[in-house]
Amino acid sequence: MAISRMRFKANNNGTFYIDLAKALSLQERKLHRQKNIYTVYGGYFVDSDGARIDINTAPLTWVSKRAVNRGFAMWRKMTAKTLQDAGATSKSRYRDFKVFLNSGMGSGPLVPLDADDENLYVNTPEWDYSTLTSADPDGPGGTPADAFELNIVGPHSGADPNWSRIGLIQSWFDSRPLVDASQPQNIPDITDPLMNLFDAGDVIDDRLTIINAEGDAAPYDEPVGFGNNSTTGSTSNGMNLQRVSTARPTANTTLVAPIHGFQALCGLIQLVVGDDSSTNQWELVLDVETKGEKF
């Protein structure tokens, strides 16, 4: 186990994002690939205004992981096929699959600072989020092919044929056929004459009716799940995300509040700092396991 203690800071209230893979790559001077599950053992939050901070991540479910893996497979296939068709080879040391958390996340997440609030770099390091380019062009007339980026949760951004972001969980749901609750019919037809040949009463019919009615549908919503529960395009702070920690210092008294441990899919974190923080900088320190968990 190797822990990297990272310090983040920003002004005022609002919504902020952290990409732990980017932060670790910068601080540890080594590429940390994003497609991992990153573990935060804990930390602390400091704010003299006593603002509340909510920490949200993508839901850590098998659906989320399956959706990200599907996007990764598509990206890898596109890259390999393009190089093969062009007769080119490329062994870029730093090429990596990178996605956004949601449609509200921009390309400039918070990066760790030193104890004097200075950046850990002079020249801005490169950290490009993956762009997929469709082989299907925008339309007739030789217009350019559609190119878009990826976010884990939430709906797609843009419209066909000009997408700007694709929601991986939404795309995964859209690619799967829905289960028909009435199929397969694993309980026989209770009106069948041969079934009723020795039926001396109605109790068997009543029991079969109950058995046939109970447990014949999934205990969850088939076309909707944690991560795509709204297709309206909403980017409100908590939409589709999982709350993993909350902290609130006491203004002018107890200025430091602990942060709970949690795991973040692809190391992507959303921070929502409440309206109480209006005049001072706030500080967040996280203890992060440097070795990500593959999925």
265 contacts 40 by C-beta, under 8 angstroms: no
Q: Let me know if residue 113 belongs to a domain.
A: yes
Same domain for 110 and 43, yes or no, is yes
Q: Let me know if residue 295 belongs to a domain.
A: no
| pLDDT at residue number 279 | 63
Q: Tens of pLDDT along 40-91?
A: 999 999 998 889 999 999 999 999 999 999 999 999 999 998 888 888 877 7
Q: Let me know if residue 237 belongs to a domain.
A: yes
In this predicted structure, the answer to whether residue 131 has a pLDDT above a threshold of 80 is yes
Same domain for 137 and 153, yes or no, is yes
Domain boundary among 217, 240, 267: 217
Q: Tens of pLDDT along 10-28?
A: 988 899 999 999 999 999 9
Domain residues for 42? 3-177+227-289
Same domain for 173 and 192, yes or no, is no
Measured between alpha carbons, how far is 89 from 80 in angstroms, rounded to an integer? Answer: 9
Q: Let me know if residue 247 belongs to a domain.
A: yes
18 contacts 271 by C-beta, under 8 angstroms: yes
Measured between alpha carbons, how far is 11 from 47 in angstroms, rounded to an integer? Answer: 10
Q: Let me know if residue 294 belongs to a domain.
A: no
| pLDDT at residue number 185 | 56
| pLDDT at residue number 74 | 94
In this predicted structure, the answer to whether residue 233 has a pLDDT above a threshold of 60 is no
In this predicted structure, the answer to whether residue 234 has a pLDDT above a threshold of 60 is no
Same domain for 49 and 192, yes or no, is no
Same domain for 105 and 246, yes or no, is yes
Measured between alpha carbons, how far is 60 from 102 in angstroms, rounded to an integer? Answer: 14
Choice among 1-5, 14-18, 222-226, 259-263 with the minimum mean pLDDT = 222-226
Same domain for 194 and 246, yes or no, is no
Q: Which range, 114-128, 183-197, 228-242, is most confident?
A: 114-128
Same domain for 173 and 185, yes or no, is no
pTM, two decimal places: 0.85
Same domain for 59 and 195, yes or no, is no
Same domain for 23 and 51, yes or no, is yes
Number of domains in the chain: 2
Domain boundary among 217, 239, 270: 217
Domain boundary among 162, 193, 217: 217
Rg (CA), the chain: 25
Contacts for 120-126 with beta carbons within 8 Å, 24 or more apart? 120/26, 120/27, 121/26, 125/25, 125/26, 126/94
Same domain for 271 and 213, yes or no, is no
Q: Let me know if residue 50 belongs to a domain.
A: yes
Mean pLDDT of the chain: 86
Could you tell me the two tokens for 4? 């990297």
Q: pLDDT grade, residue 264 (50/70/90)?
A: very high
Choice among 83-92, 158-167, 206-215 with the minimum mean pLDDT = 206-215
SS (H, E, C) the chain: CCEEEEEEEEECCEEEEEEHHHHHHHHHCCCCCCCCEEEEEEEEEECCCCCCEEEEECCCCHHHHHHHHHHHHHHHHHHHHHHHHCCCCCCCCCCCCCCECCCCCCCCCECCECCCCCECCCCCCCCCCCCEEEEEECCCCCCCEEEEEEECCCCCEEECCEEEEEEHHHHHHHCCCCCCCCCCCCCCCCCCCCCCCCCCCCHHHHHHHHHHHCCCCCCCCCCCCCCCCCCCCCCCCCCCCEEEEEECCCCCCCCEEEECCEEEECCEEEEEECCCCCCCEEEEEEEEECCCECC
Nearest to 156 by CA among 142, 170, 137: 170
Same domain for 32 and 66, yes or no, is yes
| pLDDT at residue number 230 | 67
Q: Let me know if residue 163 belongs to a domain.
A: yes
* CA torsion angle 40 42 45 50 (round to 10): 120
Nearest to 54 by CA among 25, 87, 17: 17
Q: pLDDT grade, residue 122 (50/70/90)?
A: very high
Q: pLDDT grade, residue 181 (50/70/90)?
A: low
| pLDDT at residue number 221 | 79
Measured between alpha carbons, how far is 263 from 269 in angstroms, rounded to an integer? Answer: 10
Same domain for 120 and 8, yes or no, is yes
